Structure 1
Amino acid sequence: MAYRFYAMDFAFYNSMGLYSFEARCEMLKEIGYDAMHLSVWNGERWWDVKKLSDVKQKYGLDVAGVYVVLDLSVGESHPRNEGIYTMLETIDEGSTVELAIQSVARHIRPSDPAGDDIAVKWLEKALEICERRNINLLLYSHLSFWVERHEDAVRLCQRLNHPNLGIVFCGYHWYAVDGEDIQATLGEVAPYLRQVNLSGSRRSPLGFGNVATIEPLDVGELDNFALLGQLKKIGFNGMVGYQGWSEGGDAYSKLSRSLKALRDMDRRLDEHPHWAELLL
């Protein structure tokens, strides 16, 4: 089965500014992506999601999801955190929201289960809205954030055991934080896995967080062909995205190269699935 592909809007950010919403959609449609993706960040721009209702009609694209960042160290009632609740109440029913939890308290470090109770309290309130409005809330693991490892997301999903709560597998953040035993990681994530995004990457102090680069999907040391093969092996059938954060340069060119790479990897895996079976 061929995957459907989306692009996160991270690729449209650079040191000179951000491409307009309209230009982003037009480029993605012309390049050939199946869906677009929107970043709302800290919930302070939640009203941007109103533009998503017309994306299918205007541009012929689906909406893969909306990315937001939760930071409870500034307080649950902070406008940017309250803005996420507001967004959940106003976004189209049936939408997908990807949630990166940056911090739960200033004294709690990344991946520390001591923060679970704080996060669960916020998530329970959010999931009440999600259940009522049929919204998928997906935990997004992120280097240096409190939910830093995919195992952290699994721990929260197991505790809450809610049908509207799932996980995004982020290829870059797995590679940058750990990069070990992809079979075991995906096996643990599989019951909750709803969406995937991938990046080309190589370990370098010049990369994001001084850990690893984020690059188009046709370059880098990270073997996305083998990673995609493992996703097929566990039966993942959702959409696969290109991340593209902080790459800069000509967005159209990098988006085109990455979609070409995704389609070629997908074709090779369908024709030769055993090629992705690496010897450990």
Structure 2
Amino acid sequence: MAYRVYAMDFSFYNSMGIYSFETRCEMLKEIGYDAMHLSIWHGERWRDAAKLGSVKGKYGLDVAGVYVVLDLSLGESHPRNEGILKMLETLEGCSTVELAIQSAGSHLRPSDPAGDDAVVKWLEKALEICERRNIDILLYTHLSFWVERHEDAVRLCKRLSHPRLGIVFCGYHWYAVDGSNLAGILDEVAPYLKQVNLSGSRRNPHGFGNVATIEPLDEGELDNFALLGQLKRIGYDGMIGFQGWSEGGDAYLKLSRSLQAFRDMERRLEAHPHWAELKLLP
């Protein structure tokens, strides 16, 4: 089975600017992607969200999701956080919202369960809207954010037990946080896993967060072939995206390379599934 693929729009940022919404869609269609993606952040790009309803008809692409950031240290009623709820009420052309939770409150460190009650309260309000509008919220793990580990996302999903709440497995952020126990983490995440994104990466103090780089899939030391084998093992069959944050440069070229590398991984895994069965070093 060939996975359906998308590119997060981070791939289209570089030090000179950001490619337009229309150009991003045109490039992705020409390269051979199945879906596009939109980062709304704290609400800076609501205007582009209004264009999502026309993407399928105009470009022949699906919309994999929109990415937003919740920061409860600003207060639950802060315009940025209220804006996410307003977006859920009006979003068209997309049924997936990727939610990165930057903070659950002031002075809380990443993964601190003391923030659970505040986040659950906010999510309950958001999920009421999602029920009415058939939208999924997928928790997006992020280095140095409050939901930093996939275990944090699993904890929230178990507590809320809501069919509209799921998880994005973020290959880079798993690797950057500690990069260990992949099989065990994927087994925990599997019941809630609705989306995946991958990156090439290598440990480097000049990388993102002074921890590791984010690169096309044909670069780095992170073994995405073995990671893909683990996704196959747990039966994941949803879309897979390529992250692209901080890659910069010629977006078309790098996205072409990542897609070509990914399709080659799929080919090898289909022909030789046992190749992905890595053993721990002694």
Question: Same fold by TM-score, threshold 0.5 exceeded?
Answer: yes
Amino acid at match of 1:170: C
* Match in the other structure for 2:105: 105
Deviation at residue 154 of structure 1 after TM alignment? 0.2
Query: Could you tell which deviates more after superposition, 218-227 or 92-101?
Result: 92-101
Map 1:257-276 to 2 at 5 A: 257-276=257-276
Amino acid at match of 1:192: Y
Amino acid at match of 2:197: N
Alpha-carbon displacement from aligned partner over 1:71-117 (angstroms, at most 9, x marks no partner): 01011111111110011001127610000000011211000000000
* Match in the other structure for 1:170: 170
Contact 1:197 1:243 in 2 (8 A): yes
* Match in the other structure for 2:48: 48
CA distance in 1, matches of 2:45, 2:23: 19
CA distance in 2, matches of 1:122, 1:44: 21
TM-score, normalisation: structure 1: 0.98
* Match in the other structure for 2:236: 236
* Match in the other structure for 1:33: 33
Contact 1:127 1:165 in 2 (8 A): yes
Amino acid at match of 1:117: D
* Match in the other structure for 2:69: 69
CA distance in 2, matches of 1:227, 1:90: 36
C-alpha RMSD over aligned residues: 0.9
* Match in the other structure for 2:189: 189
The answer to whether the aligner puts 1:124 opposite 2:109 as a matched pair is no
Deviation at residue 221 of structure 1 after TM alignment? 0.3
Alpha-carbon displacement from aligned partner over 1:46-95 (angstroms, at most 9, x marks no partner): 34211010101111111100000000101111111111001100112761
CA distance in 1, matches of 2:188, 2:199: 21
CA distance in 2, matches of 1:71, 1:45: 17
Deviation at residue 43 of structure 1 after TM alignment? 2.5
* Match in the other structure for 2:21: 21
Deviation at residue 134 of structure 1 after TM alignment? 0.6
CA distance in 2, matches of 1:21, 1:218: 26
CA distance in 1, matches of 2:102, 2:30: 34
SS in 1 for 2:101: strand
CA distance in 2, matches of 1:260, 1:106: 44
CA distance in 2, matches of 1:94, 1:223: 31
SS in 1 for 2:222: coil
* Match in the other structure for 1:180: 180
Q: How many residues align?
A: 280
Structure 1: where are the runs of 5+ without partners?
none
Structure 2: where are the runs of 5+ without partners?
none
TM-score, normalisation: structure 2: 0.98
CA distance in 2, matches of 1:43, 1:263: 34
4+ long deviations beyond 4 Å: none
Amino acid at match of 1:210: N
CA distance in 2, matches of 1:44, 1:251: 22
The answer to whether the aligner puts 1:214 opposite 2:178 as a matched pair is no
* Match in the other structure for 1:158: 158
CA distance in 2, matches of 1:47, 1:165: 26
Contact 1:195 1:239 in 2 (8 A): yes
CA distance in 2, matches of 1:225, 1:60: 29
* Match in the other structure for 2:202: 202
* Match in the other structure for 2:227: 227
Relative distance call for 1:30 and 1:199 in structure 2 (3 A) is same
